[in-house]
Amino acid sequence: MNIIEKLSQFFPAEQISVQSDQLEVVSHDESTLPPVKPLAVVWATSASEIAQVVKICYDTGTPVTTRGAGSALEGSTIPLPDGLVLDLSRMNRILHLWPDDLQVQVQPGIIYDRLNDHLKNEGLFFPPSPGGSGDIATIGGMVSTNASGIYSIKYGGTREYILALDIVTGTGEVMKIGNRAVKRSSGYNLVDLIAGSEGTLAVISSVTLKLAGIPEDRLQSAYKFNEEIKAAKAVSEMCRYGLDLAAVEFLDRYLIQALNQLKGYGLSEVPCLFLEFHGPRAVLEANSALADTICTELGSSKLEFGEGHRPWEIRHWATDAVKHLKPGYSIIRNDVAFPISKLPEMVEFCHQLGNENRLAVFTFGHVGLGLLHALILARKDKPDEWQMAVEMSNRIIKKTIALDGTISGEHGIGLGHKDLFEIEHGPGVELMRKIKRQFDPKNILNPGKIFDL
Ligand SMILES: Cc1cc2nc3c(=O)[nH]c(=O)nc-3n(C[C@H](O)[C@H](O)[C@H](O)COP(=O)(O)OP(=O)(O)OC[C@H]3O[C@@H](n4cnc5c(N)ncnc54)[C@H](O)[C@@H]3O)c2cc1C
Protein backbone atom coordinates (compact mmCIF):
# COMPACT_ATOMS: atom_id res chain seq x y z
CA MET A 1 0.00 0.00 0.00
CA ASN A 2 1.47 3.38 -0.94
CA ILE A 3 1.40 6.45 1.32
CA ILE A 4 -1.66 7.99 -0.37
CA GLU A 5 -3.64 4.77 0.12
CA LYS A 6 -2.53 4.62 3.76
CA LEU A 7 -3.57 8.22 4.37
CA SER A 8 -6.90 7.61 2.64
CA GLN A 9 -7.71 5.00 5.27
CA PHE A 10 -7.74 7.72 7.93
CA PHE A 11 -8.67 10.93 6.08
CA PRO A 12 -11.82 11.73 4.09
CA ALA A 13 -11.47 12.96 0.51
CA GLU A 14 -11.92 16.64 1.50
CA GLN A 15 -8.80 16.45 3.69
CA ILE A 16 -6.36 14.96 1.19
CA SER A 17 -5.54 15.88 -2.39
CA VAL A 18 -3.23 14.87 -5.20
CA GLN A 19 -4.83 17.27 -7.68
CA SER A 20 -2.33 19.25 -9.68
CA ASP A 21 -3.88 22.68 -9.02
CA GLN A 22 -3.91 22.08 -5.26
CA LEU A 23 -0.34 20.77 -5.28
CA GLU A 24 0.60 23.91 -7.22
CA VAL A 25 -0.78 26.12 -4.41
CA VAL A 26 1.43 24.44 -1.79
CA SER A 27 4.50 24.12 -4.04
CA HIS A 28 5.97 27.51 -3.14
CA ASP A 29 6.30 30.19 -0.51
CA GLU A 30 6.93 33.92 -1.02
CA SER A 31 10.61 33.47 -1.90
CA THR A 32 11.88 33.66 -5.47
CA LEU A 33 13.07 30.03 -5.23
CA PRO A 34 11.68 27.48 -7.73
CA PRO A 35 8.43 25.76 -6.67
CA VAL A 36 8.32 21.99 -6.02
CA LYS A 37 5.08 19.99 -6.16
CA PRO A 38 4.72 17.39 -3.38
CA LEU A 39 3.11 13.95 -3.71
CA ALA A 40 0.02 15.08 -1.83
CA VAL A 41 -1.38 17.69 0.53
CA VAL A 42 -3.20 16.77 3.76
CA TRP A 43 -5.28 19.23 5.76
CA ALA A 44 -5.21 18.22 9.43
CA THR A 45 -7.95 19.51 11.72
CA SER A 46 -6.74 18.28 15.13
CA ALA A 47 -3.60 17.38 17.09
CA SER A 48 -4.41 13.69 16.80
CA GLU A 49 -4.69 13.98 12.99
CA ILE A 50 -1.27 15.67 12.91
CA ALA A 51 0.16 12.76 14.94
CA GLN A 52 -1.52 10.28 12.57
CA VAL A 53 0.07 11.90 9.50
CA VAL A 54 3.53 12.05 11.10
CA LYS A 55 3.31 8.41 12.24
CA ILE A 56 2.47 7.29 8.68
CA CYS A 57 5.37 9.40 7.37
CA TYR A 58 7.68 7.90 10.00
CA ASP A 59 6.66 4.33 9.08
CA THR A 60 7.11 4.95 5.35
CA GLY A 61 10.13 7.31 5.61
CA THR A 62 8.17 10.04 3.78
CA PRO A 63 9.29 13.69 4.12
CA VAL A 64 6.64 16.05 5.50
CA THR A 65 6.67 19.84 5.25
CA THR A 66 4.25 21.64 7.55
CA ARG A 67 2.52 24.67 6.06
CA GLY A 68 0.76 27.61 7.68
CA ALA A 69 0.10 30.34 5.09
CA GLY A 70 3.22 29.86 2.98
CA SER A 71 4.32 33.49 3.41
CA ALA A 72 7.91 32.56 4.36
CA LEU A 73 10.60 34.33 2.34
CA GLU A 74 13.50 31.87 2.29
CA GLY A 75 12.00 28.68 0.86
CA SER A 76 11.44 27.02 4.23
CA THR A 77 7.89 26.05 3.19
CA ILE A 78 8.83 24.54 -0.19
CA PRO A 79 8.13 20.78 -0.01
CA LEU A 80 10.06 17.82 -1.44
CA PRO A 81 8.89 16.06 -4.63
CA ASP A 82 8.58 12.72 -2.80
CA GLY A 83 7.03 14.29 0.30
CA LEU A 84 3.75 15.51 1.78
CA VAL A 85 2.55 18.95 2.71
CA LEU A 86 0.78 18.99 6.07
CA ASP A 87 -1.41 22.08 5.80
CA LEU A 88 -2.62 23.45 9.16
CA SER A 89 -4.57 26.46 7.90
CA ARG A 90 -7.88 24.81 8.92
CA MET A 91 -6.71 24.62 12.56
CA ASN A 92 -7.53 28.25 13.24
CA ARG A 93 -9.39 28.36 16.56
CA ILE A 94 -8.70 30.10 19.85
CA LEU A 95 -8.69 27.28 22.43
CA HIS A 96 -8.50 29.24 25.72
CA LEU A 97 -8.27 32.89 26.66
CA TRP A 98 -7.14 33.93 30.14
CA PRO A 99 -7.57 37.74 30.04
CA ASP A 100 -6.54 38.17 33.70
CA ASP A 101 -3.28 36.33 33.06
CA LEU A 102 -2.75 38.05 29.67
CA GLN A 103 -2.49 34.64 28.00
CA VAL A 104 -4.10 32.75 25.15
CA GLN A 105 -3.88 29.24 23.71
CA VAL A 106 -4.47 28.91 19.97
CA GLN A 107 -4.36 26.34 17.22
CA PRO A 108 -1.37 26.91 14.91
CA GLY A 109 -3.32 27.95 11.80
CA ILE A 110 -4.89 31.10 13.26
CA ILE A 111 -3.87 34.22 11.35
CA TYR A 112 -1.99 36.96 13.21
CA ASP A 113 -4.45 39.79 12.42
CA ARG A 114 -7.51 37.59 13.20
CA LEU A 115 -6.06 36.77 16.63
CA ASN A 116 -5.48 40.44 17.38
CA ASP A 117 -8.97 41.38 16.12
CA HIS A 118 -10.35 39.01 18.75
CA LEU A 119 -7.98 40.10 21.54
CA LYS A 120 -8.89 43.75 21.00
CA ASN A 121 -12.19 43.14 22.82
CA GLU A 122 -10.18 42.34 25.96
CA GLY A 123 -7.80 45.31 25.57
CA LEU A 124 -4.99 42.89 24.73
CA PHE A 125 -2.72 42.16 21.77
CA PHE A 126 0.05 39.85 20.57
CA PRO A 127 2.74 42.38 19.65
CA PRO A 128 5.35 40.81 17.32
CA SER A 129 3.66 41.97 14.13
CA PRO A 130 5.22 40.50 10.98
CA GLY A 131 4.45 43.80 9.23
CA GLY A 132 3.30 43.35 5.64
CA SER A 133 2.22 39.73 6.16
CA GLY A 134 0.15 40.15 9.34
CA ASP A 135 -3.03 39.53 7.35
CA ILE A 136 -1.87 36.09 6.18
CA ALA A 137 0.88 34.74 8.48
CA THR A 138 -0.24 32.04 10.94
CA ILE A 139 0.87 31.80 14.56
CA GLY A 140 2.40 28.33 13.88
CA GLY A 141 4.45 29.84 11.05
CA MET A 142 5.45 32.80 13.23
CA VAL A 143 6.65 30.50 16.02
CA SER A 144 8.54 28.33 13.54
CA THR A 145 10.38 31.30 12.02
CA ASN A 146 10.56 33.31 15.26
CA ALA A 147 8.93 36.17 13.36
CA SER A 148 9.29 39.75 14.54
CA GLY A 149 8.55 43.16 13.14
CA ILE A 150 8.15 46.87 13.49
CA TYR A 151 7.23 46.81 17.19
CA SER A 152 9.90 44.33 18.28
CA ILE A 153 12.23 47.06 19.53
CA LYS A 154 9.78 47.66 22.39
CA TYR A 155 8.01 44.32 22.75
CA GLY A 156 10.43 41.68 21.43
CA GLY A 157 9.89 38.93 18.86
CA THR A 158 7.63 35.86 18.84
CA ARG A 159 10.07 33.77 20.92
CA GLU A 160 9.64 36.13 23.89
CA TYR A 161 5.89 35.38 24.01
CA ILE A 162 5.76 31.58 23.80
CA LEU A 163 4.90 29.93 27.10
CA ALA A 164 4.01 26.39 26.01
CA LEU A 165 3.64 24.30 22.89
CA ASP A 166 1.90 21.05 22.05
CA ILE A 167 4.13 19.29 19.58
CA VAL A 168 4.44 16.10 17.56
CA THR A 169 8.03 14.93 17.10
CA GLY A 170 9.40 13.15 14.04
CA THR A 171 8.43 9.73 15.45
CA GLY A 172 4.80 10.80 15.90
CA GLU A 173 5.20 11.21 19.67
CA VAL A 174 2.86 13.82 21.15
CA MET A 175 4.04 16.01 24.03
CA LYS A 176 3.49 19.32 25.78
CA ILE A 177 6.55 21.46 26.43
CA GLY A 178 6.58 24.56 28.67
CA ASN A 179 3.78 25.78 30.94
CA ARG A 180 1.87 28.99 31.78
CA ALA A 181 4.39 30.28 34.32
CA VAL A 182 5.85 33.52 32.97
CA LYS A 183 8.96 33.39 35.11
CA ARG A 184 10.85 30.13 35.24
CA SER A 185 14.22 28.58 35.82
CA SER A 186 13.47 24.94 35.34
CA GLY A 187 15.87 23.03 33.16
CA TYR A 188 16.51 23.29 29.45
CA ASN A 189 14.25 25.59 27.45
CA LEU A 190 12.78 23.23 24.83
CA VAL A 191 10.24 25.85 23.77
CA ASP A 192 13.06 28.12 22.63
CA LEU A 193 14.54 25.28 20.62
CA ILE A 194 11.33 24.86 18.62
CA ALA A 195 10.97 28.62 18.02
CA GLY A 196 12.79 29.34 14.77
CA SER A 197 13.30 25.64 13.89
CA GLU A 198 11.31 26.00 10.61
CA GLY A 199 9.36 22.77 11.03
CA THR A 200 12.53 20.64 11.22
CA LEU A 201 12.20 19.43 14.84
CA ALA A 202 8.46 19.03 15.44
CA VAL A 203 5.02 19.94 14.20
CA ILE A 204 3.31 22.44 16.50
CA SER A 205 -0.32 21.60 17.22
CA SER A 206 -1.07 24.36 19.75
CA VAL A 207 0.63 27.51 21.04
CA THR A 208 0.16 29.18 24.42
CA LEU A 209 1.18 32.82 24.22
CA LYS A 210 1.80 35.65 26.62
CA LEU A 211 0.04 38.88 25.59
CA ALA A 212 0.44 42.62 26.19
CA GLY A 213 -2.07 45.34 27.07
CA ILE A 214 -3.01 47.67 24.21
CA PRO A 215 -1.08 50.90 24.89
CA GLU A 216 -3.05 53.88 26.19
CA ASP A 217 -1.96 56.10 23.32
CA ARG A 218 0.37 56.23 20.30
CA LEU A 219 2.36 58.99 18.66
CA GLN A 220 3.97 58.79 15.25
CA SER A 221 6.52 61.08 13.67
CA ALA A 222 8.97 61.02 10.79
CA TYR A 223 12.28 62.72 9.97
CA LYS A 224 14.21 63.32 6.78
CA PHE A 225 18.02 63.40 6.61
CA ASN A 226 20.59 64.55 4.07
CA GLU A 227 22.60 61.37 4.23
CA GLU A 228 21.79 57.73 5.05
CA ILE A 229 24.66 57.68 7.51
CA LYS A 230 23.09 60.52 9.55
CA ALA A 231 19.77 58.67 9.79
CA ALA A 232 21.60 55.54 10.91
CA LYS A 233 23.54 57.58 13.50
CA ALA A 234 20.30 59.07 14.83
CA VAL A 235 18.97 55.55 15.50
CA SER A 236 22.14 54.61 17.33
CA GLU A 237 21.92 57.81 19.41
CA MET A 238 18.23 57.32 20.26
CA CYS A 239 19.00 53.82 21.53
CA ARG A 240 22.01 55.09 23.53
CA TYR A 241 19.84 57.72 25.23
CA GLY A 242 17.43 54.93 26.26
CA LEU A 243 14.50 56.39 24.35
CA ASP A 244 11.35 54.27 24.76
CA LEU A 245 10.77 53.63 21.05
CA ALA A 246 7.90 51.36 19.98
CA ALA A 247 9.07 51.38 16.36
CA VAL A 248 11.86 52.93 14.36
CA GLU A 249 11.95 52.23 10.68
CA PHE A 250 14.68 53.35 8.29
CA LEU A 251 14.02 53.92 4.56
CA ASP A 252 16.83 54.98 2.23
CA ARG A 253 16.42 57.62 -0.51
CA TYR A 254 16.14 55.01 -3.29
CA LEU A 255 13.24 53.34 -1.55
CA ILE A 256 11.48 56.70 -1.08
CA GLN A 257 11.93 57.33 -4.83
CA ALA A 258 10.41 53.92 -5.58
CA LEU A 259 7.48 54.61 -3.20
CA ASN A 260 6.82 57.98 -4.86
CA GLN A 261 6.87 56.29 -8.25
CA LEU A 262 4.44 53.52 -7.20
CA LYS A 263 2.02 55.57 -5.12
CA GLY A 264 2.69 59.23 -5.95
CA TYR A 265 3.30 60.19 -2.31
CA GLY A 266 5.35 63.25 -3.29
CA LEU A 267 7.82 62.73 -0.41
CA SER A 268 11.23 64.42 -0.38
CA GLU A 269 13.56 61.83 -1.91
CA VAL A 270 16.02 61.64 0.97
CA PRO A 271 16.67 59.01 3.68
CA CYS A 272 13.99 58.92 6.38
CA LEU A 273 13.14 57.53 9.79
CA PHE A 274 9.57 56.68 10.80
CA LEU A 275 9.07 56.62 14.59
CA GLU A 276 6.29 55.49 16.90
CA PHE A 277 5.95 55.81 20.67
CA HIS A 278 3.47 54.02 22.96
CA GLY A 279 2.21 54.98 26.43
CA PRO A 280 0.46 57.76 28.34
CA ARG A 281 0.40 61.13 26.53
CA ALA A 282 2.96 62.86 28.77
CA VAL A 283 5.47 60.03 28.28
CA LEU A 284 4.90 60.08 24.51
CA GLU A 285 5.54 63.78 24.32
CA ALA A 286 8.71 63.60 26.43
CA ASN A 287 10.10 60.77 24.28
CA SER A 288 9.15 62.49 21.07
CA ALA A 289 10.81 65.76 22.20
CA LEU A 290 14.07 63.93 22.93
CA ALA A 291 13.93 62.18 19.54
CA ASP A 292 13.37 65.57 17.92
CA THR A 293 16.46 67.03 19.63
CA ILE A 294 18.64 64.09 18.54
CA CYS A 295 17.43 64.19 14.93
CA THR A 296 17.70 67.99 14.68
CA GLU A 297 21.27 67.92 16.00
CA LEU A 298 22.10 65.58 13.13
CA GLY A 299 20.76 68.13 10.63
CA SER A 300 17.36 66.48 10.17
CA SER A 301 13.93 68.04 9.87
CA LYS A 302 10.38 66.70 10.19
CA LEU A 303 8.96 64.81 7.22
CA GLU A 304 5.44 65.90 6.36
CA PHE A 305 3.01 63.43 4.79
CA GLY A 306 0.38 64.29 2.22
CA GLU A 307 -3.29 64.40 3.17
CA GLY A 308 -4.55 61.04 4.50
CA HIS A 309 -1.19 59.24 4.37
CA ARG A 310 0.26 57.54 7.44
CA PRO A 311 3.87 56.31 7.91
CA TRP A 312 3.02 52.60 8.24
CA GLU A 313 0.76 52.64 5.22
CA ILE A 314 3.68 54.07 3.23
CA ARG A 315 6.12 51.55 4.71
CA HIS A 316 3.70 48.73 3.88
CA TRP A 317 4.33 49.28 0.16
CA ALA A 318 8.15 49.07 0.42
CA THR A 319 8.68 45.66 -1.20
CA ASP A 320 5.97 46.23 -3.83
CA ALA A 321 7.50 49.59 -4.73
CA VAL A 322 10.87 47.93 -5.42
CA LYS A 323 9.20 44.99 -7.23
CA HIS A 324 7.33 47.27 -9.64
CA LEU A 325 10.13 49.74 -10.26
CA LYS A 326 11.74 47.97 -13.21
CA PRO A 327 9.67 45.52 -15.28
CA GLY A 328 11.53 42.25 -15.90
CA TYR A 329 13.65 42.59 -12.76
CA SER A 330 13.42 40.34 -9.68
CA ILE A 331 14.40 40.95 -6.07
CA ILE A 332 17.21 39.31 -4.15
CA ARG A 333 16.61 40.10 -0.51
CA ASN A 334 18.24 39.54 2.83
CA ASP A 335 17.43 40.37 6.44
CA VAL A 336 20.76 40.67 8.18
CA ALA A 337 21.02 41.82 11.82
CA PHE A 338 24.05 43.14 13.68
CA PRO A 339 24.98 45.25 16.71
CA ILE A 340 23.23 48.61 16.44
CA SER A 341 26.47 50.67 16.26
CA LYS A 342 27.33 48.96 12.95
CA LEU A 343 24.26 50.34 11.19
CA PRO A 344 25.98 53.33 9.50
CA GLU A 345 28.80 51.08 8.25
CA MET A 346 26.37 48.47 6.89
CA VAL A 347 24.15 50.98 5.09
CA GLU A 348 27.20 52.57 3.46
CA PHE A 349 28.61 49.15 2.51
CA CYS A 350 25.36 48.11 0.77
CA HIS A 351 25.19 51.31 -1.29
CA GLN A 352 28.88 51.13 -2.16
CA LEU A 353 28.38 47.58 -3.49
CA GLY A 354 25.41 48.76 -5.57
CA ASN A 355 27.44 51.61 -7.08
CA GLU A 356 30.46 49.40 -7.84
CA ASN A 357 28.33 46.78 -9.58
CA ARG A 358 25.80 49.18 -11.14
CA LEU A 359 22.82 47.40 -9.60
CA ALA A 360 20.04 49.11 -7.67
CA VAL A 361 20.17 48.41 -3.91
CA PHE A 362 17.43 49.51 -1.50
CA THR A 363 18.02 49.42 2.25
CA PHE A 364 15.37 49.65 4.95
CA GLY A 365 14.16 47.85 8.05
CA HIS A 366 13.43 47.71 11.76
CA VAL A 367 16.79 49.28 12.44
CA GLY A 368 16.27 49.87 16.16
CA LEU A 369 17.18 46.21 16.60
CA GLY A 370 19.99 46.40 14.05
CA LEU A 371 17.89 44.67 11.39
CA LEU A 372 18.45 45.75 7.80
CA HIS A 373 16.88 44.55 4.57
CA ALA A 374 19.01 45.06 1.48
CA LEU A 375 16.93 44.44 -1.66
CA ILE A 376 18.88 44.08 -4.90
CA LEU A 377 17.17 44.32 -8.30
CA ALA A 378 18.54 42.13 -11.08
CA ARG A 379 17.33 40.25 -14.17
CA LYS A 380 16.99 36.50 -13.83
CA ASP A 381 17.20 36.08 -17.61
CA LYS A 382 20.68 37.65 -17.57
CA PRO A 383 22.65 34.93 -15.74
CA ASP A 384 25.79 37.09 -15.26
CA GLU A 385 23.79 39.93 -13.75
CA TRP A 386 21.77 37.58 -11.51
CA GLN A 387 24.97 35.85 -10.32
CA MET A 388 26.53 39.23 -9.54
CA ALA A 389 23.47 40.16 -7.45
CA VAL A 390 23.67 36.84 -5.57
CA GLU A 391 27.34 37.50 -4.86
CA MET A 392 26.55 41.03 -3.66
CA SER A 393 23.95 39.64 -1.28
CA ASN A 394 26.44 37.05 -0.03
CA ARG A 395 29.04 39.77 0.56
CA ILE A 396 26.50 41.72 2.63
CA ILE A 397 25.83 38.60 4.70
CA LYS A 398 29.53 37.77 5.13
CA LYS A 399 30.24 41.35 6.21
CA THR A 400 27.42 41.03 8.76
CA ILE A 401 28.88 37.81 10.15
CA ALA A 402 32.32 39.46 10.35
CA LEU A 403 30.69 42.23 12.44
CA ASP A 404 29.38 39.51 14.81
CA GLY A 405 25.89 39.67 13.34
CA THR A 406 23.54 37.05 11.94
CA ILE A 407 22.42 35.93 8.47
CA SER A 408 18.78 36.28 9.44
CA GLY A 409 17.13 38.63 11.92
CA GLU A 410 13.58 37.51 11.10
CA HIS A 411 12.95 35.44 7.95
CA GLY A 412 14.95 32.33 8.84
CA ILE A 413 17.40 30.26 6.80
CA GLY A 414 15.20 27.87 4.80
CA LEU A 415 16.91 26.98 1.53
CA GLY A 416 17.82 30.57 0.67
CA HIS A 417 20.69 31.05 3.13
CA LYS A 418 21.65 27.46 3.86
CA ASP A 419 25.01 27.76 2.08
CA LEU A 420 26.27 30.42 4.47
CA PHE A 421 24.87 28.92 7.67
CA GLU A 422 28.08 27.12 8.64
CA ILE A 423 30.10 30.35 8.36
CA GLU A 424 27.92 31.87 11.08
CA HIS A 425 27.65 28.87 13.39
CA GLY A 426 30.84 26.86 12.81
CA PRO A 427 30.97 23.71 14.98
CA GLY A 428 27.56 24.70 16.43
CA VAL A 429 25.97 23.22 13.28
CA GLU A 430 27.15 19.72 14.25
CA LEU A 431 25.51 20.15 17.65
CA MET A 432 22.30 21.24 15.87
CA ARG A 433 22.46 18.07 13.71
CA LYS A 434 22.65 15.95 16.88
CA ILE A 435 19.63 17.78 18.33
CA LYS A 436 17.69 17.27 15.08
CA ARG A 437 18.39 13.50 15.22
CA GLN A 438 16.92 13.33 18.74
CA PHE A 439 13.65 14.94 17.64
CA ASP A 440 13.53 13.41 14.18
CA PRO A 441 15.66 10.24 13.87
CA LYS A 442 14.51 9.42 10.32
CA ASN A 443 14.96 13.03 9.08
CA ILE A 444 11.40 13.27 7.76
CA LEU A 445 10.48 16.72 9.15
CA ASN A 446 11.13 19.35 6.48
CA PRO A 447 14.45 17.75 5.53
CA GLY A 448 17.13 19.84 3.85
CA LYS A 449 16.01 23.11 5.42
CA ILE A 450 18.46 25.24 7.49
CA PHE A 451 21.26 22.62 7.06
CA ASP A 452 21.78 19.15 5.60
CA LEU A 453 21.98 16.26 8.01
C1 LIG B 1 4.97 40.97 2.41
C2 LIG B 1 5.65 40.17 3.49
C3 LIG B 1 6.15 40.83 4.60
C4 LIG B 1 6.78 40.10 5.61
N5 LIG B 1 7.25 40.76 6.71
C6 LIG B 1 7.81 40.07 7.73
C7 LIG B 1 8.27 40.75 8.91
O8 LIG B 1 8.18 41.97 9.05
N9 LIG B 1 8.80 39.99 9.89
C10 LIG B 1 8.93 38.63 9.78
O11 LIG B 1 9.41 38.00 10.72
N12 LIG B 1 8.51 37.97 8.67
C13 LIG B 1 7.96 38.65 7.65
N14 LIG B 1 7.54 37.97 6.52
C15 LIG B 1 7.76 36.50 6.41
C16 LIG B 1 6.59 35.60 6.86
O17 LIG B 1 5.36 36.25 6.80
C18 LIG B 1 6.85 35.08 8.30
O19 LIG B 1 8.00 34.25 8.30
C20 LIG B 1 5.67 34.29 8.87
O21 LIG B 1 5.94 34.03 10.22
C22 LIG B 1 5.40 32.96 8.18
O23 LIG B 1 4.14 32.48 8.59
P24 LIG B 1 3.34 31.43 7.67
O25 LIG B 1 2.11 31.02 8.38
O26 LIG B 1 3.16 31.99 6.31
O27 LIG B 1 4.39 30.23 7.68
P28 LIG B 1 4.78 29.27 6.48
O29 LIG B 1 5.42 30.04 5.36
O30 LIG B 1 3.63 28.43 6.12
O31 LIG B 1 5.88 28.39 7.21
C32 LIG B 1 7.10 28.95 7.62
C33 LIG B 1 7.97 27.85 8.25
O34 LIG B 1 7.34 27.40 9.44
C35 LIG B 1 7.04 26.00 9.35
N36 LIG B 1 5.75 25.82 10.00
C37 LIG B 1 4.58 26.48 9.76
N38 LIG B 1 3.63 26.09 10.63
C39 LIG B 1 4.19 25.16 11.43
C40 LIG B 1 3.73 24.38 12.52
N41 LIG B 1 2.49 24.47 12.99
N42 LIG B 1 4.58 23.49 13.10
C43 LIG B 1 5.86 23.37 12.66
N44 LIG B 1 6.36 24.09 11.65
C45 LIG B 1 5.53 24.98 11.03
C46 LIG B 1 7.06 25.67 7.86
O47 LIG B 1 7.39 24.31 7.63
C48 LIG B 1 8.15 26.62 7.37
O49 LIG B 1 9.40 26.06 7.62
C50 LIG B 1 6.92 38.68 5.49
C51 LIG B 1 6.41 38.02 4.35
C52 LIG B 1 5.78 38.75 3.37
C53 LIG B 1 5.24 38.01 2.18
> Both 152 and 7 in a single domain?
yes
Residue range 81-122, pLDDT digits in tens = 999 999 999 999 999 999 999 999 999 999 999 999 999 999
Rounded CA separation 14/407 (Å) = 40
> What number does the ligand 1 atom closest to the CA of 167 have?
42
Q: Are residues 222 and 202 in the same domain?
A: no
Verify whether ligand 1 is closer than 6 Å to residue 198 (CB atom): yes
Calculate how far, in angstroms, residue 17's C-alpha sits from the geometric centre of ligand 1: 23
Give the atom of ligand 1 at the shortest distance from the alpha carbon of 139. 25
Do residues 393 and 351 both lie within one domain?
yes
316: domain CATH number is 3.40.462.10
Residue 325 lies in a domain: yes
The pLDDT mean for the chain works out to: 95
**One domain, residues 8 and 72:** yes
Q: Which of 36, 43, 66, 331 to mutate to test the pocket of ligand 1 (most atoms within 8 A of CB)?
A: 66
* Domain of residue 317, residue span: 218-402
Query: Is residue 264 domain-shared with residue 126, that is, in the same domain?
Result: no
pLDDT tens per residue across span 208-261: 999 999 999 999 999 999 988 889 889 989 988 889 999 999 999 999 999 999
Q: Determine the Cα–Cα distance for residues 75 and 374; give it in Å rounded to an integer.
A: 18
Residue 9 within any structural domain of the chain: yes
Residue 284, domain member (yes or no) = yes
Same domain for 168 and 244, yes or no, is no
Atom of ligand 1 nearest to the CA of 157: 11
Q: What residue's CA is closest to ligand 1, atom 6? A: 130
The Å distance, Cα 109 to ligand 1 centre, comes to 11
206 lines ligand 1 (CB under 6 A): no
pLDDT in tens, 274-284: 999 999 999 99
Cβ(152) – ligand 1 distance below 6 Å: no
Q: What is the pLDDT of residue 13?
A: 94
In a domain, 413, yes or no: no
Both 151 and 31 in a single domain?
yes
Residues 223 and 205 in one domain: no
| CB of 140 shorter than 6 A to ligand 1 | yes
Whole-number pLDDT of residue 368 = 87
Q: What contacts 173, CB < 8 A, 6 or more positions away?
A: none
Residues 172 and 141 in one domain: yes
Residue at 414 is within a domain: no
In a domain, 107, yes or no: yes
In a domain, 181, yes or no: yes
Look at residue 203 in the predicted model and tell me its pLDDT: 98
The pLDDT value recorded for residue 236 is 85
The verdict on 241 and 180 lying in the same domain is: no
Provide the percentage of residues in the chain whose pLDDT is more than 90. 90
The pLDDT of residue 419 is above 90: yes
- The tally of domains found in the chain comes to 2
What is the rounded distance in angstroms from the CA atom of residue 32 to the CA atom of residue 78?
11
Q: Does position 308 have pLDDT exceeding 90, yes or no?
A: no
Q: Is the CB of 75 under 6 A from ligand 1?
A: no
CA of 418 to the centre of ligand 1 (A): 17
Q: Is residue 277 part of a domain?
A: yes
Locate the ligand 1 atom nearest the alpha carbon of residue 76 and give its number: 49
Same domain flag for 175 and 70:
yes
Residue 179 belongs to domain with CATH number: 3.30.465.10
pLDDT at 307 over 90: no
Q: CA torsion angle for 114, 179, 167, 100 (degrees, to 10)?
A: -20
* Integer Cα distance of 394 and 188 in angstroms: 34
CB 410, CB 148: distance < 8 Å: yes
pTM score of the predicted model: 0.95
Whether residue 311 contacts residue 222, with contact meaning beta carbons closer than 8 Å, is answered with: yes
pLDDT the model gives residue 229: 83
In the chain, % helix, strand, coil (3-state, to 5) comes to: 40, 20, 40
Q: Give the confidence band of 186 by pLDDT, cuts at 50, 70, 90.
A: very high
Question: Using CA positions, which residue lies closest to atom 3 of ligand 1?
Answer: 132
The rounded percent of the chain whose pLDDT value lies above 70 is 100
Residue 70 pLDDT: 98
Same domain, 257 and 202: no
Q: Is the pLDDT of residue 305 over 90?
A: no
| Atom of ligand 1 lying closest to residue 144 CA | 34
